């Protein structure tokens, strides 16, 4: 009986033209959004590559300089985008893709309120993820809002009931029909995704599979909810109004409230206050370490005692470089402490936002899609931490060379470093973490999505027992 219901519904969708019209409209919108996103992604990557090459050439061609002044010239590094970033840009537009690396200082890419970005930043922007998450449910509602209520209004439901059709078979058949019709409408997109896999690495192809599976669960939830509402309400108009209200709440209201709640419960410092706290801790020292002046005086005293000399000028190595290495090591410790706290605060905000995901499937779906696209907070943190490791390495390399190149204290105006030194610093090479990393970040969101599917099916089953002509 379920198969018969499915065939009847699909014939109806095809006969009245709704499916064709909606499919064509969806294809045009999604194709336009995807094309624009891909072009923008390629253009951005091309620009980043060009800037990276220029910045690298400028670094290597500084000429003769004091090595520390050369280090202060700094190095730009860029976060490469996975191809799936064209599907879901995530927080990329909010946090940027570049970092400026220089001695003594760890530069952030973000201190704005972007904890809500994975769930709400896409709203109103015609991106592929906006079409798939926000507009496809409207297609489902358009096709399914009257799937049962129309049968009741025309008297057909009474006839089906008299013929012995069980409510369970009726609703399950209509649910699967709406879901299959949605699949047919998105078939060109699915074929495009399948064809694009030849351009993807194995890791990215698997990431795409997880996105497709998550979207399938998401659409199944909306389809089940749509059919259940249509079965419970007496009129198609009432079902449509209620479903549109649910759609607005799930897409806009709940994510916004969740993000606002996360910020209210766990506010993050402003950029100015964050930088001031770090500077204060470096100057005054962490508990038990003493202030910067006393720490440096103690370090100088140890060097003089170790080498049995009375002046820094008498040291058999570059005193300035040794002191910088010490200062930067301490500063890196302070920066790591504060940045870890900041990232942990963002992660805690995300966990609060996940609670709101219990009231909207949009939130966990965006968590999965942005994680798979490498555009979530966890991937951003991974990039920034790898960039920080590189920053410390290249500044330490320059200082270690300086340490061996001179004796005692030298003037900052002395030019004794050359291009061979600058070229010895290897370029920053960043590799995005593998699928396992993304799955770990998205695990709670995946479980929440499955919970939504179980809840939707349970609602459909409960409604089936109460279907009345």
- Look at residue 116 in the predicted model and tell me its pLDDT: 41
- Look at residue 246 in the predicted model and tell me its pLDDT: 96
pLDDT by residue for the chain (469 residues), tens only, comes to: 788 888 888 888 888 777 788 778 877 888 888 888 888 888 888 888 898 899 899 999 999 999 999 999 999 899 888 888 888 988 877 777 789 999 999 987 644 444 344 444 555 567 889 989 999 999 999 999 998 888 888 888 777 776 767 888 889 999 999 999 999 888 877 787 777 777 888 999 999 999 999 999 999 999 999 999 999 998 999 999 999 999 999 999 999 999 999 999 999 898 899 999 999 999 999 999 999 999 999 999 999 999 999 999 999 999 999 999 999 999 999 999 999 999 999 999 999 999 999 999 999 999 999 999 999 999 999 999 999 999 999 999 999 999 999 999 988 889 999 999 999 999 999 999 999 999 999 999 999 999 999 999 999 999 988 776 5
Dist. CA 23–CA 289, nearest whole Å: 66
Residue 81 is encoded by which pair of tokens? 């985008």
Residue 376 is encoded by which pair of tokens? 């979530």
Residue 28 is encoded by which pair of tokens? 């045009």
**Comparing C-alpha atoms, which of 386, 339, 437, 340 is closest to residue 99?**
386
52: Cβ–Cβ under 8 A, 6 or more apart, which residues? 76, 77, 78
Per-residue three-class SS string for the chain: CHHHHHHHHHHHHHHHCHHHHHHHHHHHHHHHHHHHHHHHHHHHHHHHHHHHHHHHHHHHCCCCECHHHHHHHCEEEECCCCHHHHCCCCCHHHHCCEEEEECCECCCCCCCCCCCHHHHCCCCCCCHHHHHHHHHHHHHHHHHCCCCHHHHHHCHHHHHHHCCCCHHHHHHHHHHHHHHHHHHHCHHHHHHHHHHHHHCCHHHHHHHHHHHHHHHHHHHHHHHHHHHHHHHCCCHHHHHHHHHHHHHHHHHHHHHHHHHHHHHHCCCCCHHHHHHHHHHHHHHCCCCCCCHHHHHHHHHHHHHHHHCCCCHHHCCCEHHHHHHHHHHHHHHHHHHHHHHHHHHHHHHHHHHHHHHCCCCCHHHHHHHHHHHHCCCHHHHHHHHHHHHHHHHHHHHHHHHHHHHHCCECCCCCCCCECHHHHHHCCCCCCCCCCHHHHHHHHHHHHHHHHHHHHHHHHHHHHHHCCCCC
What's the length of the chain? 469
- Look at residue 117 in the predicted model and tell me its pLDDT: 42
- Look at residue 9 in the predicted model and tell me its pLDDT: 85
Dist. CA 136–CA 215, nearest whole Å: 10
- Look at residue 124 in the predicted model and tell me its pLDDT: 53
Evaluate whether 406 touches 315 at the Cβ level (below 8 Å).
no
């Amino acid at each position: 009986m379920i198969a018969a219901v499915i065939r009847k519904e699909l014939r109806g969708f095809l006969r009245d033209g709704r499916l064709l019209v909606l499919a064509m409209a969806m294809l045009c919108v999604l194709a336009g959004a995807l094309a624009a996103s891909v072009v923008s992604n390629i253009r951005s990557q091309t620009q980043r590559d060009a800037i990276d090459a220029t910045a690298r050439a400028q670094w290597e061609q500084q000429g003769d300089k004091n090595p520390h002044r050369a280090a202060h010239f700094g190095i730009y590094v860029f976060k490469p985008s996975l191809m799936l970033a064209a599907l879901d840009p995530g927080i990329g537009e909010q946090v940027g893709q570049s970092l400026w690396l220089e001695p003594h200082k760890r530069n952030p890419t973000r201190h704005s309120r972007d904890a809500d970005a994975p769930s709400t930043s896409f709203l109103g922007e015609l991106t592929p993820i906006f079409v798939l998450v926000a507009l496809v449910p409207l297609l489902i509602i358009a096709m399914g809002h009257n799937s049962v209520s129309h049968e009741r209004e025309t008297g057909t439901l009474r006839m089906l009931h008299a013929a012995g059709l069980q409510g369970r078979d009726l609703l399950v058949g209509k649910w699967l029909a709406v879901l299959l019709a949605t699949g047919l409408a998105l078939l060109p997109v699915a074929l495009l995704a399948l064809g694009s896999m030849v351009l993807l690495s194995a890791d990215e192809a698997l990431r795409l599979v997880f996105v497709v599976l998550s979207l399938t669960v998401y659409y199944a939830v909306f389809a089940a909810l749509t059919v259940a509402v249509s079965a419970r309400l007496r009129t198609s108009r009432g079902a449509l109004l209620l479903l549109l209200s649910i759609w607005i709440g799930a897409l806009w209201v709940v994510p916004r409230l969740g993000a606002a709640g996360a910020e209210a419960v766990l506010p993050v410092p402003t950029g100015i206050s964050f930088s001031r706290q770090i500077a204060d801790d470096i100057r005054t020292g962490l508990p038990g370490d003493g202030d910067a002046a006393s720490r440096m005086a103690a370090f100088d005293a140890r060097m003089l005692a170790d080498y049995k000399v009375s002046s820094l000028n008498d040291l058999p190595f570059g005193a300035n470089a040794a002191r910088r290495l010490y200062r930067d090591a301490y500063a890196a410790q302070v920066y790591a402490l504060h940045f870890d706290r900041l990232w942990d605060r963002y992660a805690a905000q995300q966990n609060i936002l996940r609670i709101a995901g219990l009231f909207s499937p949009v939130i966990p779906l965006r968590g999965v899609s942005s994680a798979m696209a490498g555009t979530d907070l966890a991937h951003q943190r991974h990039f920034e931490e790898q960039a920080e490791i590189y920053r410390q390495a290249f500044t330490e390399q320059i200082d270690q060379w300086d340490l061996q190149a001179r004796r005692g204290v030298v003037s900052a105006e002395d030019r004794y470093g050359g291009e061979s030194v600058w070229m010895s610093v290897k370029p920053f090479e960043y590799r995005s973490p593998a699928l396992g990393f993304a799955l770990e970040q998205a695990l709670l969101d995946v479980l929440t999505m499955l919970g939504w599917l179980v809840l939707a099916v349970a609602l459909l089953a409960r409604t089936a027992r109460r279907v009345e002509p």
